[in-house]
Amino acid sequence: MEDFKQHYNTCALVSNSGQLLNSKASQEINEAECIIRMNHAPTFNYSEDVGNRTTIRVCSFQAIGNIKKGLYVGKEKSDYVFMWGMDNPKRRSWARLRLRKVANMFPNQRFFTLRNRGEHLAEAIYESETQIDRDKTNSWLSTGWFTMLLALEICDDLKVYGLVSEDYCRTHNKTKVPYHYYEEQKYDECQMYDQHESQFVQGHRYLTEKSVFHRFAVLFNVSFRHPEWNIQDYNYTKLYSPFLRKWNNKTEEKGR
């Protein structure tokens, strides 16, 4: 596949979170030169809150067959679709086969894939920022992680919509917000985050990733909307998340 060479002055990274419901953020999102969405998040029926245009859609290799056909054609179609996880040797054959089938079904949709060395770089950045080993901590990188790194690479001015900070659930523990704005799930947003952050079995470390995003916001031209993040007073030298606290405590106990 060809290399992606686009670069943008302004970008809106729109999360899948229920935080966006009733936000009326459409106008400011649509003003961005590049609008980035993830996996199968739709705009239809939600355009007043999430905008109605998609430049880039970033998808997990697992989402290839789950993305609704309408997201590849018509008003929901994005200019580009980025797939991550495609080049991993463990799943390269079947993942590429599935992508080839989808690409043949929708010849007008442009697809790009993250190379294996790009995934290794994403993992190295995670480990460098958190100071923990991803494999030893049984941690999975999320689509949001890959999307943020892509956005930082191709955007001069990045605004992120609907993403909560790493301490949001601690300070809003009575707030019930849907995990996704477009579908009902068993757990609300904070329940989902807490479940993944509180255990050492395999899982996503959503709040841990968000603590790194908070650091990125201090170092790069990144801001957060709906809800707003406190960037000015943030101490970026020390990361905080429930999982990091539990893991560091466990490590200290072993060292005694």
Spatial distance between the Cα atoms of 59 and 83, rounded to a whole number of angstroms: 5
Torsion sign, CA atoms 135, 136, 138, 144: negative
CA distances from residue 201 to 140, 188, 195 in whole angstroms, order as listed: 10, 20, 11
- Say which CATH architecture domain 8-255 belongs to: Alpha-Beta Complex (3.90)
Cβ atoms < 10 Å from Cβ of 223:
12
pLDDT above 70: residue 197:
yes
pLDDT reported for residue 253: 66
CA 19, 20, 24, 25 torsion-angle sign: positive
Q: What local confidence, expressed as pLDDT, does residue 153 receive?
A: 96
DSSP state of 142: P
- Chain centroid offset of residue 131 CA: 20
CA distance 19 to 159: 15
What value does the mean pLDDT take over residues 142-150?
97
Q: What is the pLDDT of residues 232-252, one digit of tens each?
A: 877 777 888 999 998 888 876
Of 94, 154, 149, 153, the C-alpha closest to 120 is 149
Split at pLDDT 50, 70, 90, the class of 184 is confident
Q: In degrees rounded to 5, what are phi and psi of residue 94?
A: -75, -35
Every domain of the chain and the residues it spans: 8-255
- Evaluate the CA torsion angle 121, 124, 130, 132 in order and state its sign: positive
90-143: per-residue pLDDT in tens? Answer: 778 888 888 888 889 889 999 999 888 888 999 999 999 999 999 999 999 999
Q: 161 is written with which tokens?
A: 């919509």
